[in-house]
């Protein structure tokens, strides 16, 4: 981003410093956060808050995730490796998608709200991010065409881990997913080894719910 106002660049650097303070150590993730302009993913009237460590509304009752959560989920998913194929459920505005795209070879991302998927597609194209493939669809089904995935990142919370997604996780693959009822969920890491799915609790989080079916 060469032609962006310096203020925004500084705000982004301050956000990265804040994330380090909060315990995010993965350098590649911090660099990705520093290089993705979060402000282009939010409404213009929220520009001044684009680099707050907070979720913000993106329309349709949905939110762009808090940067700390994006960093934490991405670091846990990638675990210091450059993953080949990652599936994201819940594209939203595409911010998390863009951060992942900096760190993995190919990102597939599904969104059930058509307008959000279309806007995300445009935003990512304007940023010349090419290693992402978006789909308007129901994430509960996963995306069988490209399965299995080395990583699956879910950015909305189901009450139970969908078995369909477990079935699309490669051997040695990792899934990061918030699970539970509206208001409080457990962020979980799932590791797949020979048909076993080891679950590790990471922290308490608040996500929008994973909804069944499509929304026009
Ligand atoms: N990663 C996004 C977070 C968006 S919030 C970002 O950085 O902006 C979670 C998103 O999940 C919402 O856009 C919501 O519409 C979407 N979602 C909810 N249920 C879904 C489902 N079954 N399939 C696909 N997307 C879903």
Ligand 1 midpoint to CA 163 (Å): 18
- pLDDT of res. 41: 98
**Sheet of strand 106-111, all strands in order from the earlier edge strand to the far edge:** 132-136, 106-111, 85-89, 149-154, 169-179, 185-193, 196-205
Residue 198's beta-bridge partner residues?
A: 191
* Nearest residue (CA) to ligand 1, atom 13: 92
CA of 107 relative to ligand 1 center, distance in Å = 15
- The pLDDT, as a whole number, for residue 2 is 56
Q: Which residues contact 176 (CB under 8 A, 6 or more apart)?
A: 73, 76, 77, 151, 152, 153, 154, 187, 188, 189, 190, 202
Question: Ligand 1: distance of its center to the CA of 82 in Å?
Answer: 24
Split at pLDDT 50, 70, 90, the class of 215 is confident
CB within 6 Å of ligand 1 — which residues? Answer: 62-65, 89-90, 92-93, 95-96, 110-113, 116, 138-140, 155-156, 208, 210-211
Per-domain residue ranges of the chain: 54-205
Question: What's residue 4's pLDDT?
Answer: 83
CATH of 54-205, one of 3.40.190.10, 3.10.50.40, 2.60.120.10, 3.40.50.150: 3.40.50.150
Q: What is the percentage of the chain residues whose pLDDT exceeds 70? A: 99
Atom number, ligand 1, closest to the C-alpha of residue 215: 15
The number of the ligand 1 atom at minimal distance from the alpha carbon of 213 is: 22
Position 5 confidence tier, pLDDT thresholds 50, 70, 90: confident
Bridge partners, 136 (sequence order): 111
Convert the pLDDT of each residue in 85-139 to its tens digit: 999 999 999 999 999 999 999 999 999 999 999 999 999 999 999 999 999 999 9
Assess whether pLDDT exceeds 80 at residue 178: yes
Instruction: Please tell me what DSSP assigns to residue 7.
Output: H
Confidence of residue 3 (pLDDT cuts 50, 70, 90): confident
Give the model confidence (pLDDT) of 47-80 as tens digits: 999 999 999 999 999 999 999 999 999 999 999 9
Q: Is 65 among the residues known to form the active site?
A: yes
- Active-site residue, selected from the candidate residues 35, 65, 109, 117: 65
Residue 79 CB: number of other CB atoms within 10 A?
A: 12
Distance 65 CA to ligand 1 centre (A): 10
């Amino acid at each position: 981003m060469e032609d962006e106002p310096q203020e925004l660049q500084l705000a982004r650097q301050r956000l990265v410093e804040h994330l380090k303070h909060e315990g995010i150590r993965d350098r590649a993730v911090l660099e990705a956060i520093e290089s993705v302009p979060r402000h282009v993913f939010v409404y213009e009237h929220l520009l001044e808050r684009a680099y707050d460590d907070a979720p913000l509304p993106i329309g349709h009752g949905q939110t762009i995730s808090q940067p700390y959560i994006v960093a934490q989920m991405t670091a846990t998913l990638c675990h210091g490796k450059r993953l080949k194929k990652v599936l994201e459920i819940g594209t939203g505005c595409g911010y998390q998608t863009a951060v992942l795209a900096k760190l993995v070879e190919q990102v597939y991302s599904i969104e059930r709200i058509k307008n959000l998927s279309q806007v995300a597609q445009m935003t990512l194209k304007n940023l010349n991010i090419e290693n992402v493939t978006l789909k308007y669809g129901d994430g509960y089904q996963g995306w069988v065409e490209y399965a299995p995935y080395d990583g699956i990142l879910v950015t909305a919370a189901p009450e139970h881990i969908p078995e369909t997604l477990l079935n699309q996780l490669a051997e040695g693959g990792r899934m990061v997913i918030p699970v539970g009822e509206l208001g409080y969920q457990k962020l979980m890491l799932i590791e797949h080894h020979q048909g076993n799915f080891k679950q590790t609790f990471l922290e308490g989080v608040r996500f929008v719910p994973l909804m069944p079916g499509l929304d026009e």
